[in-house]
Amino acid sequence: MSLSNGELYIEGSNVIYKMHMPLYEIAHLKNPRKTLLENFHVRDGDQHPEPKNAHCEEDKVGGWYTCRAEFHFSKPVEQLDVECRFSDVIVPNHIHLLRSELGDTRKQTVFDFSLKKTTINFMPPTAAEVIWSDFLTGFTRVIIGPVQILFILGLTLAGRNRSELSWLAIAFLLSESVSALIFSAKGWQPSAQFVEAAGALTVIYLAVEILLLPEAGYRWIVAALMGVFHGFYFSNFLIQSSMDPGFFLMGISLAALVLLSIFYLFLSRIEHNLPHLHPTRVGSCALLAVGAVWFLLRLRS
């Protein structure tokens, strides 16, 4: 769960950029001011101004590293080419939520390893465009998220048949959505270390249960707990963005169901054609190893 946010304010030919980065995200950077500003650029046509009046400071009480910089163009800005490569210098799964404002028009862009450059125009979006954007953002966060994929793979391995997998999926997705809605409404943002350590423990427990208690019941409870911790991540996303929770969570749920279906079909095919490979046991061992490493890394960070 690596997340930061920023704002772009366009005032005629001047562009003001404000960035808010959690302090724990930049602990490994020797010169965070230089590194971060070198990996954020704005352009308008052939104009590529360097940041002016740049100022960064640490807010150790709030846990944020904040920067403010100005970009000056020779004419009023109507659209911007923005490049953000924070995922190259923070961690590969880092996400930067950028809100842009020109007059009464506001846009929101999600930068990650799959999107590092984009053009932001300030034509007011239609209602359909806003809905599609929020839905697609939720869908994409699951499809390209290694942590999200790990959770869903764990659910697939835990489902001993199609019926049980369906109930596990329902428990997971419901608790995930309720968790995201409740905690985003309350504005509570638990630390990334806590969320990821707790999530890793649920993965470890699920893997141990599959391996040592193959006939154990009530796995839907474990699935629901996984959904709660998974929901923490998306609550942070909702707090720092202006997305509609309903369409955003619909995209998340659909992506999870797509991945569950793919993993289930793949696992079923292996178990049917190559049962001697013991795919459930091997997969659970791998899940246990990844969960343990993930937990230990979180404890040390």
CA distances from 144 to 18, 105, 191 (A): 27, 29, 22
pLDDT in tens, 61-77: 778 899 999 999 999 88
CA distances from 28 to 50, 87, 128, 230 (A): 25, 14, 41, 26
Q: Provide the pLDDT confidence category of residue 201 given band limits of 50, 70 and 90.
A: confident
Q: 130: buried, middle or exposed (CB in 10 Å: 19+, 13-18, 0-12)? A: middle
Q: Among residues 127, 264, 182, which one has the least CA distance to residue 190? A: 182
* DSSP one-letter string for 217-257: --HHHHHHHHHHHHHHHHHHHHHHS---HHHHHHHHHHHHH
The confidence score (pLDDT) of residue 25 equals 86
Q: Is 0.75 surpassed by the pTM of this model?
A: yes
CA distance 59 to 182: 27
Radius of gyration of the chain (CA): 21
The confidence score (pLDDT) of residue 192 equals 67
Q: Provide the pLDDT confidence category of residue 177 given band limits of 50, 70 and 90.
A: very high
The confidence score (pLDDT) of residue 61 equals 78
Q: Which amino acid is at 300?
A: R
* Helices and strands (DSSP H and E) totals, the chain: 9, 9
pLDDT in tens, 110-161: 998 888 999 988 888 888 988 998 999 899 888 887 778 888 888 888 888 8
Instruction: Assess contact for 63 and 193: CB atoms under 8 A.
Output: no
pLDDT in tens, 210-264: 888 877 778 888 888 888 888 888 888 888 888 889 999 999 999 999 999 999 9
Residue 1 pLDDT more than 70?
no
Percentage of the chain surpassing pLDDT 90?
A: 37
Domains and CATH numbers, the chain: 3-124 (2.60.40), 138-300 (no CATH)
CA distances from 132 to 55, 127, 180, 189, 241 (A): 36, 9, 20, 26, 15
Percentage of the chain surpassing pLDDT 70?
A: 97
Q: Provide the pLDDT confidence category of residue 301 given band limits of 50, 70 and 90.
A: low
The chain-wide mean pLDDT, for the chain, equals 87
C-alpha atoms less than 13 angstroms from C-alpha of 53 in its C-beta half-sphere: 10
CA distance 37 to 67: 9
Residue 187 — left, alpha, or beta (φ > 0 → left; ψ -120 to 50 → alpha)? left
Residue 280 pLDDT more than 90?
no
Q: Provide the pLDDT confidence category of residue 170 given band limits of 50, 70 and 90.
A: very high
Which secondary-structure segment (H or E) carries 42? strand 40-43
pLDDT in tens, 80-102: 999 999 999 998 888 899 999 98
Q: Report which DSSP code applies to 299.
A: H
The confidence score (pLDDT) of residue 212 equals 86
- CA end-to-end span of the chain: 13
